Structure 1
Amino acid sequence: MAKSLPPRSEVPVEETWNLESLFASDQAFNKALDSLEQEAAAFQEQHKGNIQNTASVIEVLTAYLALLEKLVPISTYASLALSTDQTNDVAQMHASKYSSVAAKISSRLSFVTSELLEQPEETLKAAMEQSAEFEVYLKKLIRKKPHQLHPEVEKTLAAYSSTFSAPYGLYNTTKMVDMAFEDFEVNGKRYPLSYVSFEGDWEAEPDAELRRTAFTAFSNKLKEYQHTTAKTYDMQLQMEKTTSDLRGYETIFDYLLFNQEVDRSLYNRQIDLITEELAPHMRKYAKLLQKAHGLEKMTFADLKVSLDPSYEPEITVDESKKYINDALGIMGGDYLEMVERSYSERWIDFAQNTGKSTGAFCSSPYGHHPYILISWTGRMNEVFVLAHELGHAGHFYNANREQNLFNARPSLYFIEAPSTMNEMLVANHLLQNSEDPKFKRWVISSIVARTYYHNFVTHLLEAAYQRKVYDRIDAGQSVNAGVLNAIKRGVLEEFWGDAVEITPGAELTWMRQPHYYMGLYPYTYSAGLTISTQVSKRILKEGQPAVDEWLEVLKTGGTKTPAELSKMAGVDITTEEPLRDTIAYIGELIDELVVLTEEIEEVAK
C-alpha cells in the first residue's frame, strides 16, 4: 500500500547515494565552479586566434579536453543534488548557479569549434593522423561543418545555452515541486497519492477499484497543469525548430537525428513496424490480463497490473544483490566488482522521499564512478529496473576507462542496448533456475510487462506521438494542450484497438515523460532492446565468446556508429530482420503466458 513520502531529511543515510566522491562539500563545489570560470577565461586568452596549424590544433584540443574533464564533476554534482530533492532551496540555487556559469564558459569556449572548422581540411586530417586520440572528434566535427554558423553567432547561441535548457527545468519544477496530490477516497477510506506512489504502486495495484480511482485522481491533478505544461513543451519545440532552420537542416528530424548517426529510415522503421506488427500481440496480452483479473472491460488504467498479483515476490535492497550478482555473473569478475562497489560505496540512491525525481536513471560522470537513482518499493520487478541502470553503469564504467571524454559516449540510438541487455540476462537467469509454473509465469510476465511493455510499448507509443508532434512543428505550426491530448489519444487508440478502452485521463500521459525534452529519445529504447534481445539470444546459445564480444562493444564507447557497434555484437540493424525477430519473440512469450495460465488454472480446479 502506498504511504505518504517523508522529506529527504528523514530518510536513512544508507538508502542515499554519497556525492562526496564528487565534492566533499557545497563549498568545494562552489570553489571548483569559480575556479573553472577563471580557467576558461585564461584558456580563451591563450588560444583564441592561435589555431593556425596541425601542432596548434593538437595543442588546443589537449587543453580543451582537460578543461571539459573538470566541468564533468561540477555539472554532475549540481544535477544529482537537485534530482533527489527538487524542493531543496540550496540545491535549486546550486543548479541555477551552475547553469549560469556553464553558459558563460560555453560561450568563451565556442571559438574552439569555429576556429577548427575554419582550418583547411588537410590540417585537421593531419592532426587526426598525428594524434589518434582526437581522430573521432575531428571526424565528427568535419561532418558538422555544413551546419556551423558564423563564430559570433555560435558564441551568442552558447551564451544562451542555459535559457535553451529552461523548458526542461520548468517542466520538472511544475511536476516535482508545484504539483501536490491530495489523498483519494474509496469506500470511506483515504489513501495517499504522489507521483512516485502512483507510478511505483497504484498503477500496479491489484484491487481494480483502488487502481482506477487512483488513476482518475492522478489524471485530474495532471489536468490542472496541462496548459502550463503544454506551453512549456511548445517553447522547447519552437527552439528546436528555429535551431534546425538556422543551421540549414532540411527538416527538424534531420537535425535531431544528426548526432545519433542514423538516417531517418531506421527511425521510421522502429515506429512503423512495431506499431503495425506488435499491436496484435499486445492486444492478446491485454485480453489475458482482463481474463486473469475477471474484468468486465479492460481500460488504460489496468494495463500495468501484474498477471498474477498473488504471486508478486517482495524483495529488500540486500536481497536484490544476490539476484543481480547471479544474473550478471556471466559478464565476468571485473563487471561484478563494479556491481559490488555500487552497493558498498553508496553509488545508488534507493530512498523514497518528497521532491525526488520519478523513474530511474544512471549518471556516469567521466573520471568518476556512476550514480544510480531509483525509488525502491520492495517489489521484485525493481530487480529488473536496477539491472537496467547497472547496464548503463557497466557500459560507461568500461567505456570511460578505455576512451577519452570525446570518445566515450556512443550515439543515443545505441544507449539503451547495454541497459536492456541486463534485463534480458536477469530474465534468462531466473527462467533457467526454476521449473515452478507460477514462478516461470511471473518471470515471463515481468519480461513482457516491464522490459518489453516499458521499452517496446510505452516508449514506442511516445515515439509515435512525438513524430506526429514534430510533423506539425516542421510544418510551421505550434501545439497546445488540446492538440497534444488529441494526438496522444489517437496514438493509443490506434495501437490498442478495441482490446483496451482509452479512458479519460489516458490522453494526458504525454505530461508524464521528461524524454520529450531530450530530442528523439523515446524510440531509441526499442532500438536498444532490439539489439540486446538479439545479443542475449546469442549469449544463451554461444556462451562466453558472445559475452567477450559484447564487453568489447562496451569498451568501444562512441568511436563507432550504432550500425558498426551492433555489427561488432553480431547484429545487423541496417535490415528489418532483428526487429521482426524481436517482435516475433515477444509474441512467443505472450503465447507461453497464455499456455502457462491455462495450465495453472487447470491445476487449481
Structure 2
Amino acid sequence: MANTQKLPLRKDVPEKLTWDLTTVYKTDADFEKDFSAVQDQLPVIAQLAGSLENGADALLKATGLYLDLNRKLEKVYVYAQLKNDQDTSETKYQAMFSRVESMVAKFGAAVSWFDPELLTLSESTMKQYYDQEPKLSDYKRLFDQTFEKRGHILSNDVEKVLAGASDIFSAGEKTFGILDNTDLPFPVVTDDNGNQVQLSQGVYGILLESTSQAVRKQAFKKLYEVYGQFQHTLAATLTTNVKNHNFKAQVRKYNSALEAALAANEVPTNVYQNLIDVVNNHLDLLHRYVALRKRILDLDNLHMYDLYTSLVDKKSPKYTFDRSKEIALDALQVMGPDYVSHVKEEFDHRWIDVVENQFKRSGGYSSGTYDTNPFILLNWKDNLDNLYTLIHETGHSMHSYYSAHNQPYQYGDYSIFVAEIASTTNENILTDYLLDQFKDDPEMKKIVLNYYLDGFKGTVFRQTQFAEFEQYIHEQDAKGQPLTADFMDNYYRDLNHKYYGDAVISDDEIGLEWSRIPHFYYNFYVYQYATGFAASSTLADGIVHGTKDNVEKYLNFLKSGSSDIPTNVMKKAGVDMTKPDYLEHAFEIFEQRLNEFEKLTMK
C-alpha cells in the first residue's frame, strides 16, 4: 500500500521557495522595539486631543505623530501577520499577531479624536494654517478626505465609543467565521477515484470540477445539507451584520448603507448601480454560455453543480513555478522595461512564499507596507490556475511598489476600489498573450478561452449577482423586513434563475448559497471585483493593442497611490468608471471570445 504523501513542515521547505522577512525586521527583537515604541506613544497622541485649535504648528505636530505611529504600526502588523500565516501552528507568532491586533484597536481609540476635532476647523482657519505653515500643504488631500465627510463624523466621545465597540459590531462576522471554518460538521463524500474524503470548502471546489456528474451532485447535495441545518443561525449572523451597517449609516446621516460604504472609498453610488444595470442588460450572454455548457457536456438537465467542470476534454497543461515565472515575464514585456525589471526583482529576491507546508494559510495574496517590499503568499500547484494567480498577485505587488516609490507615505497606499484593477489587468494581458501563443493550436486555445469565460462568469456575472443580493437585503432590513432564512432563500433562488436562465435548473439548494458566502460580511466589497475586472479588460486591451501612451497612462495610474479621488485616477488612465462605457467594452470582449469558443467547439 502506497504511503500517503504529506505536506512538508515549515522547516523542511527549501529557503529559496520562502519569502525573506528579514527585509522587514532582521530579528524578532527588532520587531519588539517598534512594537514597544508604538505602545509608548499611544498615551502621547491621546493627550494631544484638544490641541488642533492651537494653531498650524499644533496641527502639523499631531498629524506628523499620527502618521508616524500608523506607519510603524503597519510595519509591525505585516511582520506579525506574515510570520503567523507561514505556519499557523506556531504559538509564538499566534501570540505576536494577537498582540498586534489588540494594538490596532488601542491605536484606533487613541486617535479617535483626530477627525472630529479636525472638522471643527473652518475653511478660513485652514487657509490661515496653510499660510502660516507651508508644510501642511503636503497633507491637504488627506485633510480634504476628512472634510468631505463633514456631517458624517460624530463628536469625539461618540467616535471613541464606536471605535472601542468595533469588536461588538463585528460579532456577526466573527460568529459566521467560527461556524464556517471550525464548527460546521461536514460529512465524508466520494471523490473521482472512489476514495472517501472529508468535505470542506476547498474539497468542495475541487469536486465541482470533477468530470463525473455523480461526484459533483453528491458534493453539492451534502454541502448544502449542512448549511440547510444551520440556515436559521446563519440568517441571524448575516442579519446582525446588515443591521450593523444600516445602524452606522443612519447614525452618520447617510441615505443608505451602500452610500456609507462607498463613501469610505470616495466612490459615487452610480458606479454600483451602473454595474447592476449593465450586467442585467447582458444576461443574455450568460444564458448563451450556460446553454453552450449544457450542449458541450451533453446533459439532459444542467444543474448548478455542473457550472464549474471543464468544457475541454484535454487536461489543463502543467506549469511549474519556474516555467510560470518565464511566461509571466514574457507576457508582461508589453508593460515596458521598467515594470519588467521590478517583476524580476520580485522573482529573484524572495518576495514570494511559494509552496504549501503544514499549517500554512491557504489561498494566495499580496501584502506588505510602505517601508517593505511587497510579499506574495502562494500555495503552489503546477497548473494554469496558479500561473494566473502568480501574475494576478504580481499585479497587486507592482501596484504597491510603484505607489510607495512615487508618493509620500500619506498617499503611498491606494483605495480598495482600484486594487483589483492592477491584478486583473495582468490577468487579461496573460489571456491575450496565451491566445496569441496558441493561435495555431485549437485545443490549447479552447483551454485558455474556457478559463477566460469561466473567469468572467465568476468575476463579473457572479460577483454582480452577489452585489445585487447584498444591496437588496440591506434595503429590505432598512424598511423593517425581517431577514429570515426563508425570505433570503426565496429571493436568492429567484435571483439565481434570473442570472443563469432557463438552460440550468436552479436547484432548491442554491437558494442557500447566501448562507456560505463570507463576502456578504465585507460591507459592499464584492462589486469591486466586477468593476475592477471590467475596467482592466479595457486597460489591458489598450496596453496590448494600443500605443505607448496607453502603457504610460497605466504606469501613471500605478504611481498615483491615493493622491487623487479613485475615479479621477482611473479617468487619467483612460477609463471613466462613473459611466457605463467601460462595462459595455468588457462585454464586447466577452462576446467576441464566446463566439470564438462556440466556433471551436462546433468543429
Q: Fold match, TM over 0.5?
A: yes
> What is the correspondence of 1:11-90 to structure 2 with a 5 Å cutoff?
12=13, 14=15, 15-24=17-26, 29-30=31-32, 32-45=34-47, 48-49=50-51, 51-83=53-85, 90=92
Cα displacement (A) at 1:50: 5.1
Give the corresponding residue for 2:391. Answer: 387
Give the corresponding residue for 1:472. Answer: 476
Distance 1:401 1:511, change over 3 A: farther
- Correspondence for 2:530 among 526, 531, 534: 526
Task: Look up the SS of the partner of 1:184 in the other structure.
Answer: strand
Cα displacement (A) at 1:547: 0.8
Please say if 1:260 is aligned against 2:265: yes
- Per-residue CA deviation, residues 354-395 of structure 1 (Å, 9 max, x unaligned), is 765554332242221222233333221221222222211111
- Per-residue CA deviation, residues 11-42 of structure 1 (Å, 9 max, x unaligned), is 73555544443345656545533431211212
Please say if 1:280 is aligned against 2:284: yes
Give the corresponding residue for 1:316. Answer: 320
Cα displacement (A) at 1:483: 3.4
Task: Look up the SS of the partner of 1:372 in the other structure.
Answer: strand
Cα displacement (A) at 1:289: 2.0
- Correspondence for 2:430 among 420, 426, 433: 426
Give the corresponding residue for 1:230. Answer: 235
Cα displacement (A) at 1:117: 1.5
Give the conservation status (yes or no) of the 8 Å contact 2:415–2:566.
yes
Please say if 1:244 is aligned against 2:216: no
Letter in 2 for 1:287: A
Task: Look up the SS of the partner of 2:54 in the other structure.
Answer: coil
Tell me whether 168-177 or 201-210 shows the greater mean CA deviation.
168-177
State the alpha-carbon separation in 2 of the partners of residues 489 and 536 from structure 1.
35
- Correspondence for 1:401 among 405, 417, 432: 405
Letter in 1 for 2:252: R
- Correspondence for 1:206 among 202, 211, 223: 211
Give the corresponding residue for 1:378. Answer: 382
Give the corresponding residue for 2:126. Answer: 124
- Correspondence for 1:592 among 562, 582, 596: 596
- Correspondence for 2:138 among 133, 137, 141: 133
Tell me whether 60-69 or 333-342 shows the greater mean CA deviation.
333-342
Cα displacement (A) at 1:128: 5.4
Letter in 1 for 2:294: Q
Letter in 2 for 1:422: N
Task: Look up the SS of the partner of 1:144 in the other structure.
Answer: coil
Give the corresponding residue for 1:146. Answer: 151
Give the conservation status (yes or no) of the 8 Å contact 2:208–2:306.
yes
Distance 1:229 1:104, change over 3 A: same
Letter in 1 for 2:108: S
- Per-residue CA deviation, residues 72-103 of structure 1 (Å, 9 max, x unaligned), is 02222344445556666555444433332222
State the alpha-carbon separation in 2 of the partners of residues 351 and 339 from structure 1.
19
Cα displacement (A) at 1:409: 3.4
Letter in 2 for 1:489: R
Cα displacement (A) at 1:10: 7.9
Cα displacement (A) at 1:403: 1.8
Task: Look up the SS of the partner of 2:400 in the other structure.
Answer: helix
Give the conservation status (yes or no) of the 8 Å contact 1:86–1:355.
yes
State the alpha-carbon separation in 2 of the partners of residues 358 and 482 from structure 1.
33
Tell me whether 430-439 or 51-60 shows the greater mean CA deviation.
51-60
State the alpha-carbon separation in 1 of the partners of residues 76 and 192 from structure 2.
50
State the alpha-carbon separation in 2 of the partners of residues 216 and 465 from structure 1.
23
Please say if 1:102 is aligned against 2:107: no
Distance 1:337 1:224, change over 3 A: farther
- Per-residue CA deviation, residues 494-524 of structure 1 (Å, 9 max, x unaligned), is 1112111122432333344332232211111
Task: Look up the SS of the partner of 1:204 in the other structure.
Answer: coil
Tell me whether 546-555 or 322-331 shows the greater mean CA deviation.
322-331
Letter in 1 for 2:277: D
State the alpha-carbon separation in 1 of the partners of residues 576 and 494 from structure 2.
33
Letter in 2 for 1:540: V
Give the corresponding residue for 2:202. Answer: 197
> What is the correspondence of 1:153-552 to structure 2 with a 5 Å cutoff?
153-179=158-184, 181-185=186-190, 189-195=194-200, 197-198=202-203, 201-277=206-282, 279-352=283-356, 359-434=363-438, 435-450=440-455, 452-552=456-556
Letter in 1 for 2:38: L
State the alpha-carbon separation in 1 of the partners of residues 80 and 236 from structure 2.
26
Give the conservation status (yes or no) of the 8 Å contact 1:196–1:358.
no
Q: TM-score, normalised by structure 1?
A: 0.90
State the alpha-carbon separation in 1 of the partners of residues 10 and 172 from structure 2.
28
Tell me whether 124-133 or 135-144 shows the greater mean CA deviation.
124-133
Task: Look up the SS of the partner of 2:411 in the other structure.
Answer: coil
- Per-residue CA deviation, residues 433-471 of structure 1 (Å, 9 max, x unaligned), is 222111122112211112x12210221111111111111
Q: Cα RMSD (Å) of the superposition? A: 2.8
Distance 1:448 1:369, change over 3 A: same
Cα displacement (A) at 1:258: 0.9
Give the conservation status (yes or no) of the 8 Å contact 1:349–1:374.
yes
Task: Look up the SS of the partner of 2:451 in the other structure.
Answer: helix
Cα displacement (A) at 1:332: 2.8
Distance 1:358 1:171, change over 3 A: farther
Distance 1:123 1:258, change over 3 A: same
State the alpha-carbon separation in 1 of the partners of residues 329 and 181 from structure 2.
34
Letter in 1 for 2:144: K
Cα displacement (A) at 1:125: 3.9
Query: What's the % identity of the aligned pairs?
Result: 25
Distance 1:8 1:48, change over 3 A: farther
Task: Look up the SS of the partner of 1:70 in the other structure.
Answer: helix
Letter in 1 for 2:120: E
Give the conservation status (yes or no) of the 8 Å contact 2:275–2:580.
no
Cα displacement (A) at 1:247: 1.0
State the alpha-carbon separation in 2 of the partners of residues 592 and 274 from structure 1.
21
Letter in 2 for 1:507: G
Cα displacement (A) at 1:268: 0.9
State the alpha-carbon separation in 2 of the partners of residues 513 and 468 from structure 1.
16
Q: Which runs of 5+ in 1 are unaligned?
A: 600-605
Q: TM-score, normalised by structure 2?
A: 0.90
Task: Look up the SS of the partner of 2:501 in the other structure.
Answer: helix
State the alpha-carbon separation in 1 of the partners of residues 236 and 359 from structure 2.
23
Give the conservation status (yes or no) of the 8 Å contact 1:300–1:506.
yes
State the alpha-carbon separation in 2 of the partners of residues 497 and 424 from structure 1.
27
Give the corresponding residue for 1:603. Answer: none
Letter in 2 for 1:384: Y
Give the conservation status (yes or no) of the 8 Å contact 1:186–1:209.
no
State the alpha-carbon separation in 1 of the partners of residues 548 and 542 from structure 2.
10
Task: Look up the SS of the partner of 1:413 in the other structure.
Answer: helix
Task: Look up the SS of the partner of 2:302 in the other structure.
Answer: coil
Tell me whether 156-165 or 355-364 shows the greater mean CA deviation.
355-364
Cα displacement (A) at 1:138: 0.9
Give the conservation status (yes or no) of the 8 Å contact 1:349–1:373.
yes
Letter in 2 for 1:370: P
Give the conservation status (yes or no) of the 8 Å contact 1:391–1:419.
yes
Q: Which runs of 5+ in 2 are unaligned?
A: none
Cα displacement (A) at 1:552: 0.4
Give the conservation status (yes or no) of the 8 Å contact 2:191–2:197.
no
